[in-house]
A and B are shown apart, each in its own frame.
Chain A
């Protein structure tokens, strides 16, 4: 009997502390509710303040240098990646096709260098600065092709951000299996700073 009382005390205490946390730090929002994959709904509150929106991918695409491939397997471009993720070659082809790129690494890493035109959207941003995350999402249509990357290998940051974007209704999310350093090593286009990747 005492055990049951103590369990209830733990739950009650947790509820009280959680309530205080919600009051002090503000409640969370659940985002667009009941999203269905493939349904293109307007996102968010149009009156909300935007913060550092990323530049829209131009249509038609701007004159990006297109990689030329020889057709032979390249140890860097075609290096094995986790199942279901993009090789560096596939990612570059999507970049050439003006897909949206999202950098899921830490902000200081993004500022030090990122894929050109990529937007910074670390999964933690949904907690720490939802307005900024919303601004990034507002720049990307729900059916847009999005390539997410981090440091590659066992990095799960891309997957975590992709999972959050999926909950907001994005349907074409792809993970770049290779990391940013591989992109740099291949000599592909990069940018620095926190300007959202503007060249």
Chain B
């Protein structure tokens, strides 16, 4: 058996689309995580400000989320940049984006809540710090490349291709051996 070399179209897709999307999306999430990991107290306060759960009863959940979520973003972001476990990383980011969007809409619709996004720690990307539709739109836009990477994975330049498994979990266009 010998592997068939990918065609020019796949190379073009990998170089022009998948690589920039991976590095861009992964980089954004790793950057966001970096800012939050250094400001866990602020992030915990921000989560509490969203009033998703009662801070009196479920404060431990808020603290757990404040410590865990940035590291999910960091691990998934770095893996996505490297192209390792690309699909799983993109799925993790996708789930987080959907959760963020739901939480943001919850805050926007409840006029009694005035929360700070803290999406990028003390920094802001595109949108202002206070929660608004801008963050919902931004996260919805980020869902597009994320979904694409879930669908098409990391491409030929991803480490997945180096450490590709034979489980069939990877995109068959790049992993199947043909004779």
Contacts and interface: CB of A to CB of B under 8 A. Distances in A.
Interface residues of B, number: 47
**A22, A33, A167: residue with the most chain B Cβ atoms closer than 10 Å:** A167
Categorize the interface residue count of chain A: 35 or more
A18 B60 CA distance: 13
B174 to A, nearest CB: 16
A33 B75 contact: no
Interface string B1-15: 000000000000000
Nearest to A130: B41
Contacts of A160: 42, 116, 122, 129
Nearest to A126: B41
A7 B92 contact: yes
Contacts, number: 123
A124 B35 CA distance: 11
Contact of B116 (A13, A27, A30, A159): A159
A164 B42 contact: yes
A76 interface: no
B59 A17 contact: no
A152 to B, nearest CB: 15
26 contacts: A2-B88, A2-B165, A2-B169, A3-B91, A7-B91, A7-B95, A9-B88, A10-B88, A14-B70, A21-B37, A28-B63, A28-B67, A30-B63, A33-B55, A124-B122, A126-B42, A126-B45, A127-B38, A127-B39, A127-B42, A156-B124, A159-B130, A160-B129, A163-B115, A166-B114, A167-B45
